[in-house]
Structure 1
Amino acid sequence: MAAPSYATKPQVVGHYGLRIFVALVCVFLVAPIFAIIPLSFSSGTFLSYPMPGFSFRWYEEVLAPRPWMFTLRNSLFVAIGATIFSTTLGTLAALAMARKNLRSLPVINAFLLAPMIVPLIITAVGLYFFFAQLGLTNSFTGLIIAHTALCLPFVLVTVAATLEGFDGTLVRAAQSLGAPPLTVFRRVILPIISPGVASGALFAFAISFDEVVVAVFLAGPTQRTLPKQMFSGLRENIDPSILAMATLLVVMATGLMIVAGLLKRRSERMRGLSG
């Protein structure tokens, strides 16, 4: 009978050490969030520990028509519009680039991904001067167009990653049976890449909803978004109502992360089936 081998013991220790390190990093990143959530239930008017009492008054304030619900409606309107346009354009661009037969493909790819690479403040300043000449500042149209440009690269990358495992013989088989291009896309391509498209749409919505730099330059009083309202509140008057709204946004972001994880699993499953 062979003697037990202890050669893998350092690997086991390293494996658990890596897990502990990752857990500590997660605690370090998440601890500030859990520190501010209890303050949103404070009955006081200042941010302080220990809390003077427990109250829902700040949640009642953020549910009032102004300013929080007004800015929330603006953010949802802009984010939904930017999500629709960026998802449509990003999906079409990913399909075109997946063919690998476009001229100057690296140049086109760099152009489409530029908003992801260029510092956001530079993009915001450039959009402001360009939109000012077109009369698109202080308008929902200009804000939606700007957010569409910012969100499109994330949709493009997500859908392009889904298309990497796509079997092109399915398209050729459908075409050989006489299906027109629109039917091929609707009945063959879209059902397979739909998890990637949905994930890209979630990323686009989250990025547009949370964007503040471009909104500071382009949004007027009637287009004031929720992140801009929170940014102004942090500069002018910090009260627990900002933390109450931030807590609600944390809950929403957690829900989006869960949905994105489920879509990723479905995308991997669909990729395995198509392969």
Structure 2
Amino acid sequence: MDRIRPLTRSLLWAISGIVALWLIAPTLVVIPLSFTGKASFVFPPDTWSLQWYESFFTSREWTSALMNSLLIGLLVALVATVLGLLASLGLRALISKRLANSLRIGLLVPMVVPGIVVAIGIYAIFLGLGLVGTVLGFVLAHTVLALPFTVIAITAGFAGFDDRLELAALSLGANRIETFFRVTLPNIVPGMVSGALFAFVTSFDEVVLSLFIKSPYLNTLPVLMYASVTRDTDPTLAAAATVILVFTTTLVIGALVLSGRKNRGRKS
């Protein structure tokens, strides 16, 4: 029996490694493609060059789209996290569990409804309000898609929170506002960080909805990448994809490390 357990563990690790490689391999292929010396996608590259990164960072069209995506993503992360926190607090305060579950399902609808359906509905509304092709329109539209992720993450944070800590703070003379900021909020920060990350990535990667509400004067990076694919096979597209991959990976790892340090600091 003792010999079987290490064998089983090794087998599970091997299967996990194969699955992980299968999932990330298509993504990793993009990296060498961005360094090709030819003006077309060739894998593996015959020659190597940095010209496509130069093309990306010296092109006003590409850099402007990148800055737009970063700005919109950060605003969506902020708005969706605040709204997700308020929604989670409201669901937590409801006495009726049936009503809370119904409202929670309603908040998760954008995750279930096909993106094209959501895009058509939002486009029809925004067209009448004059929000098509505006930063505000992008933020509001992307928040609709990002909000379910923040609600799930923050609700999960509340699930692991001990309500007795709030009761103890109230019994010691703290009011509800002080209790929230000194007791409740610090304990759900990891959930809020996770929700903000999901919201940012959801906005940063969104293509379908962005195609409907974009304008010639406001483009996001995924939309420009999609347009580039339909026009030509310029490897600048691979350079842009690599920039996104490195940026989002660094952001997620940094946030997870910071969140882990906060958790260890509270436990100690």
Distance in 1, Cα, partners of 2:66 & 2:82: 24
2:162 to 162, 167, 187: 167
2:21 to 11, 27, 45: 27
What stretches of structure 2 of length at least 5 have no aligned partner? none
Distance 1:149 1:220, change over 3 A: same
* C-alpha distance after superposition, 1:213-266 (max 9, x if no partner): 110011112221000000111111111111111111111222133235435645
Q: Which amino acid aligns with 1:47?
A: F
| Percent pairwise identity | 39
Matched, 1:214 2:209: yes
1:226 to 221, 224, 238: 221
Distance 1:224 1:70, change over 3 A: same
Paired residues, number:
267
Contact 1:192 1:270 (C-alpha < 8 Å) held by counterparts: no
**Structure 1 stretch 48-57 or stretch 243-252: which is displaced more?**
48-57
Matched, 1:96 2:115: no
Q: CA deviation at 1:131?
A: 1.9
Contact 2:70 2:204 (C-alpha < 8 Å) held by counterparts: yes
Distance in 1, Cα, partners of 2:101 & 2:6: 43
SS, match of residue 133 in structure 2: coil
1:113 to 108, 132, 147: 108
Q: TM-score, normalised by structure 1?
A: 0.88
Contact 2:207 2:223 (C-alpha < 8 Å) held by counterparts: yes
SS, match of residue 89 in structure 2: helix
1:200 to 195, 215, 233: 195
Contact 2:33 2:44 (C-alpha < 8 Å) held by counterparts: no
RMSD of equivalent CA atoms: 2.2
Matched, 1:255 2:250: yes
Distance in 2, Cα, partners of 1:215 & 1:74: 12
What stretches of structure 1 of length at least 5 have no aligned partner? 1-6
Q: Which amino acid aligns with 2:86?
A: L
Larger of the two Rg values belongs to structure: 1
Contact 1:196 1:267 (C-alpha < 8 Å) held by counterparts: no
Aligned to 2:47: 53
Aligned to 1:4: none
Q: CA deviation at 1:268?
A: 6.2
Distance in 1, Cα, partners of 2:19 & 2:149: 26
* C-alpha distance after superposition, 1:133-189 (max 9, x if no partner): 222222221111011111111111111111112122222232334433322221111
Distance 1:32 1:77, change over 3 A: same
Distance in 1, Cα, partners of 2:159 & 2:249: 28
Matched, 1:143 2:143: no
Aligned to 1:124: 119
Contact 2:77 2:200 (C-alpha < 8 Å) held by counterparts: yes
Aligned to 1:134: 129
